[in-house]
Amino acid sequence: MIRHLRNLVRLVAIARTLGRFGALPAEELRAVAPGLAWIMARLNRKGVPGRKGQRLARALTALGPSFVKLGQALSTRADLVGDAVAADLAQLRDRLDPFPGEQARRTVEEALGRPIAELYAAFDDHAVAAASIAQVHFAETPDGRRVAVKVLRPGVEAAFAKDLDLMDWLARLALAVQPRLARLKPVEVVRTVADSVALEMDLRMEAAAASELAENFRGDETFQIPAVDWDRTAKRVMTIARVDGVPVDRVDALRAAGHDPDVVLGHAANAFFNMVFRDGFFHADLHPGNLFVDGSGNLVAVDFGIMGRLDRQTRLYLADMLVGFLNRDYDLVARVHFEAGYVPADQNLELFRQACRSIGEPVHGRPLHEISVGRLLAQLFATTERFAMETQPQLLLLQKSMLTAEGVGRVLNPVINMWELARPLIERWMIENRGPEARVAEATTALASIAGKLPQLLRDAESVSAQLAGGGLKLHPDTVRALAATELAQTRESLRPVWWAVGVAVVLGLVAVVAG
Q: Which DSSP string corresponds to 77-89?
A: -HHHH-HHHHHHH
Helix (H, G, I), strand (E, B) or coil at 185: coil
Q: Is 249 a catalytic residue?
A: no
Map 88-126 to HEC letters.
HHCCCCCECCCCCHHHHHHHHHHHHCCCHHHHCCEECCC
> If 0-12 CB within 10 Å is exposed, 13-18 middle and 19+ buried, where does residue 158 land?
exposed
Residue 16: CB atoms within 10 Å: 15
User: What span, in angstroms and rounded, lies between the C-alpha atoms of 330 and 359?
Assistant: 10
User: What span, in angstroms and rounded, lies between the C-alpha atoms of 151 and 125?
Assistant: 12
CB 45 within 8 A of CB 60: no
DSSP letter at 131 equals B
Q: Pick the catalytic residue: 285, 311, 329, 346?
A: 285
Q: Which of 129, 126, 132, 128 is nearest to 92 (CA)?
A: 132
User: What span, in angstroms and rounded, lies between the C-alpha atoms of 302 and 224?
Assistant: 9
User: What span, in angstroms and rounded, lies between the C-alpha atoms of 259 and 246?
Assistant: 10
**Which residues, 6 or more positions from 318, have their beta carbon under 8 angstroms from its beta carbon?**
276, 277, 310, 395, 398
Helix (H, G, I), strand (E, B) or coil at 234: strand
CB 228 within 8 A of CB 238: yes
Q: Which of 65, 61, 64, 30 is nearest to 44 (CA)?
A: 30
Q: Which of 485, 435, 458 is nearest to 319 (CA)?
A: 435
Beta-strand ranges (E) seen in 306-427 are 307-309
Cα end-to-end distance, the chain, whole Å: 29
Amino acid, single-letter form, for residue 198:
A
- Taking CA atoms, 488 is separated from 477, 497, 499, in Å, by 17, 16, 18
Write out the catalytic residue numbers.
285
